Amino acid sequence: MDVLKKSVLILLCFVSIQLSAQKIAKIEPPFWWTEMHNTKLELMVYGKNIAQLTPKITNKAITILGITKTENPNYLFIKLELKNAKAGVFTINFTKKNKVITHYNYQLKQREKDAALRKSFDSSDVIYLLMPDRFANGNPNNDSSPELKEKVDRAFKGGRHGGDIEGIIKHLDYLQELGVTAIWSTPLLEDNDERYSYHTYGQSDVYRIDPRYGTNEDYKRLATEMEKRGMKLIMDYVTNHWGAEHWMIKDLPTYTWIHQFPGYANSNYRMTTQFDPNASAIDKKYCMDGWFVPSMPDLNQSNPLVLTYLIQNAIWWIEYTGLDGFRVDTYSYNDKEAIAKWTRAITNEYPYFNIVGEVWMHNQAAIAYWQKDSKIGAIQSYNSYLPSVMDFTLHDAISSMFNEDNASWSNGMIKAYENFVNDYLYTNPNNLLVFAENHDTQRLHHLLNNDIQKYKLVMTLIATVRGIPQIYYGSEIGLTGNKDNGDGDIRKDFPGGWPSDTNNAFVKEGRTKRQQELFAFTSKLFQWRKQQPLIHTGKTTHYIPENNVYVYFRHNDKDAVMVVINNSVNPQTLQLSRFSESIKNHLKGKDILTGNTVDLYKGNILVKGKTSLILELE
């Protein structure tokens, strides 16, 4: 064989090997739906040297609008027009010199009727925040996974303890008894970090439920079981970062997929730079582009490929699972223009879909900036399109004021009053998330020194003010913990969630006397709230606190509820003439907490120390 023939043969063998290696490892989204509001779809195709191939579709109802290649030959992005597409499977041929090297059968599903009009969570709901790994272990067989690094270790506070989706499903009756109408679970998507993966904010695959929680089908089943009970499922969505173990981070589609400095740089966490007119460019950059922590690479939402990927992933989970809302982690650390596009794309697809963003700031103007149609944001021609934000200033007040027995000009219940005087800054105060604690803050019972009466005052406030109340798992039975001892201490296992637990607080007969008192109060309060449209959407009139007593009314043109919170340790006598503009011609009030009737026509009422009244006026 002469040299030329040998060279040709070697070249042909090399080409054959190269072509055979060009197989598709992933296409995301894995499937899609017809009849979406946005009829365009961008497929991310991943496979070794896949960019050497040209995609072709013979289905005339589907048009390839464009193909994007990056410096990484293992990625190919295909933009499709699906306006005329029908449900079914179509074939994408990947060709080289008009020869089909490989192909992929892609499925389009029929969209459910009225899927776009789904009702989301709102001020009529009570949201229960839980950490699935710490709530209940419904299926011990999935506590560890051979595919993932971290194995179950319940003895380690920061380890995986085995709670899962099945555990949530098995205790939906408990949550209903408590008065809960919606569940916000911290993330359930795969997190393959070697340690501390239980919180699941360092995600390694955003199209897959972590196998230690269950399967995608299990998550969909949770949504279905909740829907049967008239309950709503809220997904904790992370737009700002992924985990360092994410398969795409390990083989970046493009250098600009994440923020590079080059490599790692930490955020300065100064979210005020996002709107500060005097901020330096470098400070803005390090807030928005800096990584949250070294193990969480910061996503570059200003890259159109990244933004489209995140939009489609979010819509995929809504459509696939039947979700009722999002809570978005670290919302104000994102590229603010890009996150507004992400939010608007979702609410364009689902006009009634509620999204609450974590904007952990400490004054109302700064928080209000991020709510949809904000008058403050409009000063800078900015609109986040975010329907709901978290009322962190109320949380700040709650963290201290109930331990301030002796009121002063700035201490005690005046902190609650001063929080609500700034409601004019928000475009929709009824759509604020109100809470006393969450998975990142100090445990409420720790702050209150396990004082049951103080806890009841806090819950009375949360249940009766404007907005959407959120409670943190275990508070209703006295679960406590000190954040100073590490996050694991404020994220303890719910007693009774594991077969070996000796204390089962999920059932009345398993609770201690203290647990039952707390549960009974919380349940009574929130069961009542469920049936009170006046609390959901009524107006508020409040009165400057005197002697550490805060009085406010939730009312409409006809009916009213009078709330009295006595934060003093001493009994207080209220002269009702001061509240006559709100009491009007009502003569009596029934206290929903005790069932007692209070005569308003007598001119005054006595309120015991550290107690509250919720009076339905008659």
Nearest in space to 127 (alpha carbons), one of 232, 235, 229, 238 = 232
Against a cut of 0.75, is the pTM above it? yes
Cβ contact 193:295 at 8 Å:
yes
Q: How far apart are CA 190 and CA 203, in angstroms?
A: 6
**Does any domain span residue 379?**
no
**Does any domain span residue 320?**
no
Listed residues 56, 78, 112: the one ending a domain:
112
Kindly indicate the confidence band of residue 22, based on its pLDDT and cuts at 50, 70 and 90: confident
Query: How open is the CA angle 533-538-540, to the nearest 5 degrees?
Result: 145
Cβ contact 45:27 at 8 Å:
yes
Each residue's pLDDT tens digit, 544-559: 999 999 999 999 999 9
Beta strands in 491-587, from DSSP E residues, in sequence order: 539-546, 549-555, 560-566, 572-575
Average model confidence (pLDDT) across the chain: 96
**Does any domain span residue 558?**
yes
Cβ contact 234:183 at 8 Å:
yes
Each residue's pLDDT tens digit, 174-217: 999 999 999 999 999 999 999 999 999 999 999 999 999 999 99
Each residue's pLDDT tens digit, 221-280: 999 999 999 999 999 999 999 999 999 999 999 999 999 999 999 999 999 999 999 999
**Does any domain span residue 358?**
no
Nearest in space to 323 (alpha carbons), one of 439, 231, 428, 435 = 231
Q: How far apart are CA 497 and CA 606, in angstroms?
A: 42
Active site residues: 329, 358
For residue 288 the two structure tokens come to 């928005």
Q: What is the pLDDT of residue 573?
A: 98
Burial 539-570 (b: 16+ CB within 10 A, else e): ebebbebbbbbbbbbbbeeeebbbbbbbbbee
pLDDT higher than 50, residue 12: no
Q: Is 64 helix (H, G, I), strand (E, B) or coil?
A: strand
pLDDT higher than 60, residue 20: no
Q: What is the pLDDT of residue 201?
A: 98
**Does any domain span residue 186?**
no
Read off the CATH number of the domain in which 27 is found. 2.60.40.10
**Does any domain span residue 64?**
yes
Question: Nearest 5°: phi and psi at 288?
Answer: -80, -40
Owning domain of residue 599: 540-617
Cβ contact 82:60 at 8 Å:
no
Which segment of 11-25, 107-121, 180-194 scores lowest on mean pLDDT? 11-25
**Does any domain span residue 592?**
yes
pLDDT higher than 80, residue 10: no
Listed residues 112, 143, 168: the one ending a domain:
112
Q: What is the pLDDT of residue 469?
A: 98
Q: What is the pLDDT of residue 133?
A: 98
**Does any domain span residue 447?**
no
Number of domains in the chain: 2
Listed residues 112, 134, 151: the one ending a domain:
112
Query: Helix, strand, coil shares of the chain as percentages rounded to 5?
Result: 35, 25, 45
pLDDT higher than 80, residue 9: no
Range 402-407 average pLDDT = 96
Read off the CATH number of the domain in which 605 is found. 2.60.40.1180
